[in-house]
C-alpha cells in the first residue's frame, strides 16, 4: 500500500509538470508566431526612431542694441518735462530725466561649454531735460543735454548657451566721458554754456535673453542698470563763463552747479546678435 501511494504521488507530480511545460510551450509558440508573422509581412521587426539634434555654443557673439533710458536718483529730475533752472544751478540734480542710446558688445566664451563669456562693450547715451529735445537744438525756456560715451569690460553668465533661448546676467566695469550743454535764459544774464567733458568710472549690471533665429542670427532683449560716476567725482569752477564742469561732488564753500549727484539710469534694450561658430549635429536614436 505504501509503495502504491508513492507511485500515485509521483504520477501526480509528473502530471503537474507536464501541464506547466505544455502551458509555457504554448505561450512561447504564440509569441514566436507573432514575431514570425511580423517578419514575414515586413521582412524585419518594426522599430521606432527619433531624431536628437545637438547644438554647440557660439564661439563669438556680436550684439547690437537700442536703448530707452530713464534717470534714477539725481538723474531723475523733471517728472513732467519742465526744466527747473534754479534746482540745476543749486546742484540739486542734473536737470534731466529721459534719454535714448545704443551699444555694441563683443562676447567671447572663456571655455568650451560657453556659458561664461568675456564682454567688451561700447555704449552711447543722450539725455535731455525734455524728451522731445533729444534731437532738437531749439532753445526754448532752458534745457540741459548730456552725451555719454562709455566703454566697458565685464563678465556674463549665459545659463543656456547651446539653446535657442539663452538667458543671461552679468556685470561690467565702465569708463565714461560725459559732456553736453546747458541753456539757461534769464532777464539779467542768459547762460549758453558747454559742459566740459568729464571722465568717470562706474558699474553696469544687466540681465536679459537671446533668441536664436538662425545659427548666425538672433534677437536680444533685456534690462541694464548703469551707475556711471561711482568714482572720480569732482567739482570746480571754470574761468570761461561759457563753460561749466559736470560738478557732481559736494564741495565747501559751495560753487554753482555743484552737489553730490549720481549719474545713474536704467535702460530697456532690444536688438540683434550675430553669431559665429555654431554647429549642429543630428543623431538618430532607436526608441524600440
Contacts of 187 (CB under 8 A, 6+ apart): none
* Residue 64 pLDDT exceeds 80: yes
126 and 41 housed in the same domain: no
Are both 80 and 31 inside the same structural domain?
Answer: no
Cell numbers representing residue 107 in the block: 562676447
**What CATH code is carried by the domain that includes residue 209?**
2.40.160.20
Same-domain status, 23 and 84: no
Residues 177 and 275 occupy one common structural domain: yes
Q: How far is residue 273 from each of residues 208, 221, 227, 267, measured CA to CA in Å?
A: 13, 10, 25, 18
Res 185: pLDDT: 84
Tell me: do 127 and 258 sit in the same domain.
yes
Number of domains in the chain: 2
Domain presence at residue 52 = no
Tell me how far apart the alpha carbons of residues 247 and 196 are, in angstroms, rounded to a whole number: 10
State percent of the chain over pLDDT 70.
77
Write the pLDDT tens digit of every residue in 113-172.
Answer: 889 999 999 999 999 887 765 555 555 678 899 999 999 999 999 999 999 999 999 999
Q: Which residues contact 87 (CB under 8 A, 6 or more apart)?
A: 77, 93, 95
What's the whole-model pTM score?
Answer: 0.77
Question: Within this chain, do residues 68 and 163 fall inside the same structural domain, yes or no?
Answer: yes
Q: Strands 49-55 and 280-286: what pairing?
A: antiparallel
pLDDT band for position 42 (cuts 50, 70, 90): low
Do 8 and 130 lie in a common domain?
no
Residues 26 and 129 occupy one common structural domain: no
In terms of pLDDT, which residue wins out, 34 or 217?
217
Burial 87-117 (b: 16+ CB within 10 A, else e): ebbebbbbbbbbbbbebebebebeeeebbeb
DSSP SS3 for 51: strand
Average pLDDT rounded to a whole number, residues 29-38 = 47
Least confident of 53-57, 153-157, 180-184: 53-57
- On whether both 89 and 127 belong to a single domain, the answer is yes
- 39 & 63 share domain: no
Residue 133 lies inside a defined structural domain of this protein: yes
Q: Which residues of 160-196 are buried (b: 16+ CB within 10 A; e: fewer)?
A: ebbeeebebebebebbbebebbbbbeeeeeebebebb
CB–CB of 189/206 below 8 Å?
Answer: no
19 domain-assigned? yes
Q: Say if residue 23 is in the same domain as residue 130.
A: no
> In the numeric block, which cell numbers belong to residue 185?
535764459
Domain residues for 22? 1-46
Amino acid at each position: 500500500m505504501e509503495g502504491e501511494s508513492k507511485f500515485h504521488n509521483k504520477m501526480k507530480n509528473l502530471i503537474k509538470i507536464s501541464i506547466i511545460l505544455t502551458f509555457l510551450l504554448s505561450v512561447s509558440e504564440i509569441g514566436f508566431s507573432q514575431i514570425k508573422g511580423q517578419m514575414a509581412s515586413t521582412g524585419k521587426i518594426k522599430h521606432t526612431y527619433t531624431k536628437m539634434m545637438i547644438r554647440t555654443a557660439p564661439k563669438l557673439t556680436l550684439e547690437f542694441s537700442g536703448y530707452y533710458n530713464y534717470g534714477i536718483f539725481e538723474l531723475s529730475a523733471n517728472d513732467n518735462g519742465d526744466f527747473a533752472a534754479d534746482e540745476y544751478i543749486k546742484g540739486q540734480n542734473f536737470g534731466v530725466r529721459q534719454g535714448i542710446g545704443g551699444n555694441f558688445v563683443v562676447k567671447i566664451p572663456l571655455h568650451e561649454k560657453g556659458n561664461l563669456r568675456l564682454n567688451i562693450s561700447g555704449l552711447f547715451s543722450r539725455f535731455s531735460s525734455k524728451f522731445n529735445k533729444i534731437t532738437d537744438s531749439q532753445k526754448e525756456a532752458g534745457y540741459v543735454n548730456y552725451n555719454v560715451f562709455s566703454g566697458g569690460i565685464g563678465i556674463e553668465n549665459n545659463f543656456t548657451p547651446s539653446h535657442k533661448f539663452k538667458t543671461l546676467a552679468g556685470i561690467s566695469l565702465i569708463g565714461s566721458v560725459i559732456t553736453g550743454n546747458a541753456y539757461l535764459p534769464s532777464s539779467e544774464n542768459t547762460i549758453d554754456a558747454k559742459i566740459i567733458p568729464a571722465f568717470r568710472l562706474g558699474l553696469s549690471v544687466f540681465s536679459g535673453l537671446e533668441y536664436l533665429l538662425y545659427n548666425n542670427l538672433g534677437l536680444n532683449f533685456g534690462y541694464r542698470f548703469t551707475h556711471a560716476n561711482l568714482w572720480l567725482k569732482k567739482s570746480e569752477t571754470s574761468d570761461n563763463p561759457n563753460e561749466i564742469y559736470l560738478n557732481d561732488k559736494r564741495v565747501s564753500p559751495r560753487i554753482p552747479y555743484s552737489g553730490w549727484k549720481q549719474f545713474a539710469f536704467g535702460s530697456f534694450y532690444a536688438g540683434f546678435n550675430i553669431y559665429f561658430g555654431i554647429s549642429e549635429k543630428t543623431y538618430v536614436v532607436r526608441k524600440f
